[in-house]
Structure formats: C-alpha cells, structure tokens
Amino acid sequence: MESDVLKKIKGGLIVSCQALKEEPLHSSFIMSRMAKAAVMSGAIGIRANSVVDIQAIKDTVSVPVIGILKNVYEGCSIFITPTLKEVRRICATGAEIVAMDATTRSRPNGEQLPEIIKVIREEYPTTLLMADCATLEDVEYALSLGFDIIGTTLYGYTEDTQGCDISDDDFKHLKDVLEMVDRPVIAEGKIDTPEKAKRVLELGCWSVVTGGAITRPQEIAKKFVDAINN
C-alpha cells in the first residue's frame, strides 16, 4: 500500500537545505528559513542534514522531511548516515524518511547494512528508508535489502562513478535505474536546472531533489562569476 508520505511527495520538488560547518550558511536557523522559502514556492518536501537542522525545519514547515546525518570516519568513504548510531539519531527526530549510503563499500566499524536495516525496521517500523546509491550494483543491493525508496544521490560522487553526471546522455543512468526498480525512485544529485527537474519526472521518477542550485549561494554565485570570466 502506498504510504501517505509517499503520496505527499509524488511528482514534486524536494529541496535539500544543507550547509556543513565549513560553508557560509552553516546555521539551523538559516536552514529553517531556506526550507520555509522552498515550501512557500511549492516544494513538497525538504532534505536536511543533522538532528538540530531537522528539528528547526520541522518546527517551521510541515512537509515531509528526508533526514540524514553526515559523519566522516577516518579511513572510510561512507559518510551519509553511515552507521546504526546515526540512523537511530535521525529516526528519533521523526523525519518521515531517513536516507543512508547504500553503496556496497565497507562501512565504519565493520558494520553491515543488512543488520542496520533489520534493527531499524524493528525499532522504527513506520519510518521510510531511502537508499542513497551510486552504481546499478548499489541499486540492486538496496532492492534486496527492502529499501522503500531508491535515490541516485551518490552517482558521480564515489570512486567508481567519479566524473559521471546524472544528466549525461539524456539521463541514461537514471533510465537504467528506473528500468530495474519496482518502487519509487528519487532523482538527486546535480539536478541543477528547472528543465532537468522536469525531465527526470517525465522519465518516471517519483520526486526530484535539488540542493545546491537553490540553497548554496556560493555555488550559484560561482556560476555567474565563471560565466563572466570565461
């Protein structure tokens, strides 16, 4: 059965409101205002990083939230909600959807994704789980683990997919993902123009996440500066 949360985000724009410590807008208050602006403009969901940002956003808007907790472990490339500890903390915020790295790479402390999923399904049976994938192999792995939503978040951001862009070849990678998947696919990662957002929904994605092109002014300003200087 289709959940209410899935119904609410179908066919729409989810805005990722994130600013890490080293970014100029690092502030839960600012992220909550970004979320408000996004929702005022018609966004139907927000993606956010960290417990405090999610709480501030949930106090401000009422659309579903995709929560993550980025944490870097030495010697490990997985950083999006990487271990059971981070998954639990984000589930406890009440975020309707919790996203985590679902690549087949090794996780911190030797943790295994199937075990994390098993524990979380028992503790938080109503929370939807989103798999942040890079390769088609990751997508297959995520499907076998019973994730509710497949995301393309990490395509172009891992060792194996370095240099790839989701819009290459009229979204060839995304089309391959959609062909394999029998549940909602959320297009995410470098969907940086309204035209690309529209296109991925036309191709059959459930929703689309856009981040930096809306909420990272340093990225937006750089595009203008580069255009002027080149």
Binding site for ligand LRY (CB under 6 A): 16, 18, 68, 80, 153-154, 157, 188-191, 209-213
If the CB atoms of residues 108 and 212 are measured against ligand LRY, the closer one turns out to be 212
Tell me, what DSSP letter sits at residue 96?
S
Dihedral pair phi/psi, residue 49, rounded to 5°: -115, 130
Closest approach of ligand LRY to the CB of residue 195, in Å: 14
Report the candidate in 72, 152, 76 with the shortest Cα–Cα distance to residue 110: 76
Alpha helical stretches, state H, 50-91: 51-60, 84-91
| Closest chain position to ligand LRY (CB) | 211
Q: From the CB of 157, what's the least distance to ligand LRY, in Å?
A: 4
118 versus 218: smaller Cβ distance to ligand LRY: 218
Minimum distance from residue 48 beta carbon to ligand LRY (Å)? 9
Q: How far apart are CA 155 and CA 151, in angstroms?
A: 9
Instruction: Identify which of residues 72 and 115 has a Cβ nearer to ligand LRY in the complex.
Output: 72
Least Å from the CB of residue 20 to ligand LRY = 8
* Residue 89 to residue 87: CA distance in whole angstroms: 6
Choose between 125 and 127: whose C-beta lies nearer to ligand LRY.
127
Q: Which two tokens stand for residue 85?
A: 């500890």
- β-partners of residue 132 are 101, 151
